[in-house]
Structure 1
Amino acid sequence: MKIRNYPLPGIALIFILLLTACGGNTNSSQQAASSTGPIDSVQSVAPNSSASAATGETRKFTDSKSRQVEIPVNPQKIVYIGSDPGDLLALDVKPVGATLSVIASQVVYPDLLKGIEDVGYPAALEKVLSLTPDLIIFSDWDESALESLSEIAPTVVIGENDTYTRLRQIADLLGKQDIAEQKITEYETKAANVKKQLMLDLKPGETATVFLQLGKTLYVMGHQGISVSLYDMLGFAPPPKVQELINQDELFSEISEEILPSYAGEEIFILGDEAEETSSALNQLLGSAIWKSIPAVKNGHTYAADSKWNFDDIITRTRLLEELPKLMAKGS
């Protein structure tokens, strides 16, 4: 992923909200019931609880950068660096530490983050070291600390792929393949039921677009975040201009209000956070003549949601299944 450098921590929130659970690469133009219980049941990994950990048994694992990393067969103290801890938690594994300082208040599963030490964002190496991890899972756009982290513990890079690919890669890493497949099967079963409940009766090629307002900046989403559920699960199609972004592996793009209509689909989902600046900008947008001129708006096919749904880990996507009927019933 190629991205220009930006000051932190302000831009960190924007990128984490936008790059959550995303697949593919981006570039500088895009600034912008498991075997042990239900999907929300997460078990802490207790240190020194296995023979392999005690004996130091290891194996080779090839990560997303084609690096062969020697990892513990049964890691006991995992630190997660990235914006999708839901990928790990879905496998009933709770890391001892993770980069939570920005996303803890932005995800739909804060209940599952209890007991996880925040290592900061960017990750503070001293904090990571103090947790004495035996494995670090790295899934972040900023790879500047990768070498330093690798000196603390074996560090495996997880690619910014689609939901199932990421989940399966981590499952392979941790020996949780059966749980991953069960989570996927459970999700698809629930998704099929929700589709029946919604009775969408989509026309072939019916389009939908996701716009995200963060502060004063407006983004259009490609194939990432909540768009994954709209396109892959519900069966909407991206409008031509959004499809262009997807074809160019652009996960999102900053746009101006003036060109917003050219990206608008027959259904529009508009996301925003609770920040005062965002609320003010959204109110201005929704009251503008440009917004009111869009056919989807005129037809009452717009839906407003919190930006916390702009993640595509399987925990968020599963909880979104419960939210979608309520969300789409509130179309304006």
Structure 2
Amino acid sequence: MKRFFRFFIMAIVFLGGVSLAKEIIIKDVLGREVVLKSLPQRIVLGFYYTDYLAVGGIKALDKVVGFSKAVWTDWTPASWELYSKTLPELKKIADVGEVEVGTFSVEKVLSLKPDLLLLADWQYQVLELDLEPIEKAGIPIIVIDYNKELPSLHILSTQILGQITGQEKRAEELCAFYKNTLEQIQSTITKANRAKPKVYVEFGNKGPSESGFTFGKNMWGPLIELAMGENIAKPFIEQWGPMNPEQILVSKPDVIFIAGRETELGKNKEAMVMGVEIPKDEAKRRLEAYKKRLGWSSLPAIKNNALYGVYQGASRTLADIAMVQFFAQALYPDLFEGIDAQKTYIDFHKKYLPIVPSGTFAIRASEK
């Protein structure tokens, strides 16, 4: 009788616990209210892997059952190699395909039986019409966005990651770090009351002989504005794309940034390279070649040695606040003496991520 009574009490407690479990309501970056029955335990991750880890910590990786692998392994293979050596469990996570090249598989997502699909806004826009089977299966879809480089979206996306990983406190710490660093940068510039320098940014994967993509309202474009510079591409480029070379000459940028990544190291000996395990001398050699681009010798940026290299992989992430810092230092050098943006980038990894990258992430061309 006592044993039965004890079992009866335990059943009541268990059932009571289930009934008291609270739903989690999340408003994503598109303003969609998404209801989660509980904290997700099986997540398919579309993008923003390092931000997910920065907020959720290493243990949050245990909940990832699938991800869009090529966006990491193919776009930034040096980063993938570094992370997968430290976290070998990454190699065991199922690949659901890549949106941009059309290999994303709804069927694969369904087979993994996730309780959450987390997508970048740009992925959702491409996939929206194909996601009906996932929605019919009752799998919640949440959209976040670091690509637009808007502080409000960075903050909201970080808070969402905190909610779905149960790390709200850590998320708020990261949000405070981002907001405070940005406030320090912008208040310093505002107090100085200077005219905004004109800025041009180019993704240098094609090398100096051919114009690469520049950015309007996406990625590096908004980061220029956060550093209180004037993006010369904004009137001509909506999101990203090549800018007329003649227009660059007419616009006369005061500062030029060439973005690079590791993947071009073995593909194109003239393409700009930056990032994990990229030697500073190699990055500088390739950056110097842009001074010889047709017509550029007359530009204020080249005349005044305001030519810089930045890491393409350091954009569209919480860690890109270090790149805003670097932009601000390049645009207003006398206001930010002693600032080491590359150290800020490395320190972010030391504090919030499981790896500490070495390489070249922010440089200036050599003096004449």
Matches within 5 A, 1:225-240: 225-232=219-226, 235-239=227-231
One-letter code of the match for 2:302? Answer: V
Q: Which amino acid aligns with 1:255?
A: M
Of Structure 1 and Structure 2, the greater helix share is in 2
Counterpart check, 1:155 vs 2:149: no
> Per-residue deviation at 1:213?
2.7
1:180 Cα deviation from its structure 2 partner: 2.0
Pick aligned residue for 2:247 from 259, 274, 296: 259
What is aligned with 2:54? 90
* CA separation of 1:267 and 1:285: change in aligned 2, threshold 3 A: closer
Alignment correspondent of 2:126: 142
Residue pair 1:52, 1:73 contacting (<8 A) in 2 also: no
The answer to whether the 8 Å contact 2:310/2:363 transfers is no
**Aligned pair 1:179/2:170, yes or no?**
yes
**Contact 2:26/2:160 (8 A) holds in 1:** no
The correspondence of residues 173-252 of structure 1 with structure 2, limited to 5 A, is 174=165, 176-188=167-179, 203-215=194-206, 218-232=212-226, 235-239=227-231, 241-244=232-235, 250-252=238-240
Q: Report the CA distance shift for 1:314/1:130 in structure 2 as closer, same or farther (over 3 A).
A: same
Pairwise CA RMSD:
4.0
2:117 is paired with a residue whose SS is: strand
**Change in 2 beyond 3 A, CA 1:297/1:278:** farther
Instruction: Deviation per CA, 1:47-101: give whole Å up to 9, x if none.
Output: xxxx98999864444444454433232111111123x223322212333322121
Q: Secondary structure at 1:231's aligned position in 2?
A: helix
CA 1:221/1:303 → structure 2, altered by over 3 Å: closer, same or farther?
A: same
What are the residue-to-residue correspondences of 1:259-278 with 2, within 5 Å?
Answer: 259-263=247-251, 265-273=253-261, 274-275=263-264
> How far 1:132 sits from its partner (Å)?
2.6
Corresponding residue for residue 307 of structure 2: 302
Contact 1:207 1:236 (8 Å CA) reproduced: no
Q: Which is further off, 312-321 or 131-140?
A: 312-321
Alignment of 1:45-194 (within 5 A): 58-82=23-47, 84-92=48-56, 93-94=60-61, 95-104=64-73, 106-107=75-76, 110=80, 111-112=82-83, 114=87, 115-116=89-90, 117=93, 118-122=95-99, 123-139=104-120, 140=123, 141-143=125-127, 144-152=129-137, 153-159=139-145, 161=148, 162=150, 163-172=154-163, 174=165, 176-188=167-179
- Max radius of gyration: which structure? 2
Aligned to 2:277: none
SS of 2:71 mapped into structure 1? coil
Q: Which amino acid aligns with 1:218?
A: G
Q: CA–CA distance in 1 between the matches of 2:253 and 2:17?
A: 53
- The TM-score with structure 2 as length reference comes to 0.59
Q: CA deviation at 1:151?
A: 4.1
Is this contact kept in 2: 1:53–1:73, CA < 8 A? no
For structure 2, the 5+ residue unaligned runs are 1-15, 273-285, 326-340, 345-360
Describe the shift of the 1:257–1:149 C-alpha distance in structure 2 as closer, same or farther (beyond 3 A): farther
Q: 1:58 to 1:146 in 2, by over 3 A?
A: same
Amino acid at match of 2:362: L
Separation in structure 1 between the aligned mates of residue 160 and residue 132 of structure 2, nearest angstrom: 21
CA deviation digits over 1:144-171, x for unaligned, max 9?
4322333452212335652223223443
Larger RCO of the pair (alpha carbons < 8 Å, separation 6+)? 1
1:323 aligns with 2:339: no
Counterpart AA for 1:210: V
CA contact (8 A) 2:44 2:118 kept: yes
> What percent identity do the matched residue pairs reach?
19
TM-score by length of 1: 0.65
Taking a change above 3 Å as real, the CA distance of residues 181 and 262 of structure 1, as seen in their structure-2 partners, is: farther
Letter in 2 for 1:254: P
Closer/same/farther in 2, CA of residues 270 and 194 from structure 1, 3 Å limit: same
- Is 1:312 aligned to residue 316 of structure 2? yes
